Structure formats: structure tokens, C-alpha cells
A = this chain, B = another copy of it.
């Protein structure tokens, strides 16, 4: 693929991302993408032959970005407690961010592709977050910052809570305060008793 093609593909993926963020997955048509990109009908098919394949590419891109985000964040923080706070703050942004988020599209995509490798995708994310938190909790345990009996299960619990909040913000009303309250609640559960 020529350099120009690579650029164009990238342009399509980025433009499509906006479309998916706005409309979710299921109702996005190739026509929507064509119009958003202002290219010809046939032109899009050169690069992607369905919204599925296009969305998969969008997700790939997305994961790369988020990986980077995590790393960057982690480098500048100091204590485990700080890292956790940072993580929660990031999650809060994710939870509240409706306009720019692929979450709904991703949910819809996952609902559709029950059998295929799509599940793996969410699983991976969950696993990554869970592992990250587990390590953090363990590290915090050893520094005395936290007092967590079963870091693995606590991490899991946190992931469930985060996922629940994320969903509920798309299906109902979750205020910023509610998220803050919940994070405080989670923190209290892991801080050492005085």
C-alpha cells in the first residue's frame, strides 16, 4: 500500500471514529461514512468492505492510543495512592464522556458478535484493568498505603463497579457526584483502619 493510501486509510478510520462515537455501531451505514469522509461510494470499499471491518480498525487504533495514555500517566505519578487516584480520575472522564466516546458503539458491536473474537476484546480490556489494579493494590499493601485482604478480588470488584457506572451513564443518569461518592467508597474499603 502506497504512502498516500496509508494516509487515506488513516483519515477514513479517524473520520469513521467520529461517526461511531456519535451514532453507535448498529445504525452506522457505509453511506454515513462515505458522507462524513466526503469520498465516493466505491472509494470506501477499496479500504473496508463493511462497517464491521471498519469498526474493528477503529478499535485497533483506539487501543493503541489508550495504552499510551496509561503509560504516560503512570510515569508522572509517585505513590500507589496517587496512581489509583489518577486512574479513577481517568475513569471518571471515560464514564462521563459521552460525545467523544466509542463505548456505546463498542457495546453494540459486542452484543452483535457474541460468538466471534469480539468478546475477547472486552475481556482483554477487563483483564488489563483488573491486572493493573491488582498490582497496584499489592504494591500499596507492601508500602502500607492500602490494607487489602484479597487484592485480586478487590481489583475485580472495582472493575465491575467501573463497568457498571460506565453503562449506567449511558442508560440513565449518573451524576459526577455519584461517581465521586463511589470512588470515595471504594477507597475507604482499601485504606488501612486507623
Contacts and interface: CB of A to CB of B under 8 A. Distances in A.
Given A157-B182, A157-B185, A159-B164, A170 B110 contact: yes
Copies in the complex: 4
Interface in A95-111: 98, 104, 106-108, 110-111
Contact of A173 (B26, B123, B172): B123
21 contacts: A24-B111, A26-B27, A107-B107, A107-B111, A107-B167, A108-B108, A120-B172, A123-B173, A153-B182, A156-B178, A156-B181, A156-B182, A157-B161, A157-B182, A157-B185, A159-B164, A160-B164, A160-B165, A162-B164, A163-B164, A167-B167
A192 interface: no
A153 B180 CA distance: 11
Interface of A: 24, 26-27, 98, 104, 106-108, 110-112, 114, 119-123, 126, 150, 153-154, 156-157, 159-165, 167-168, 170-173, 178, 181-182, 185-186, 189
Nearest to A162: B164
Contacts of A126: 168, 172
A106 B157 CA distance: 24
Nearest to A189: B189
Q: Which of A106, A167, A173 has the most CB of B within 10 A?
A: A167
B24 A172 contact: no
Given A26-B27, A111-B104, A122 B156 contact: no
Given A26-B27, A110-B171, A156-B185, 4 more contacts: A107-B170, A150-B185, A159-B164, A160-B160
Contacts of A182: 153, 156-157, 160
B185 A26 contact: no
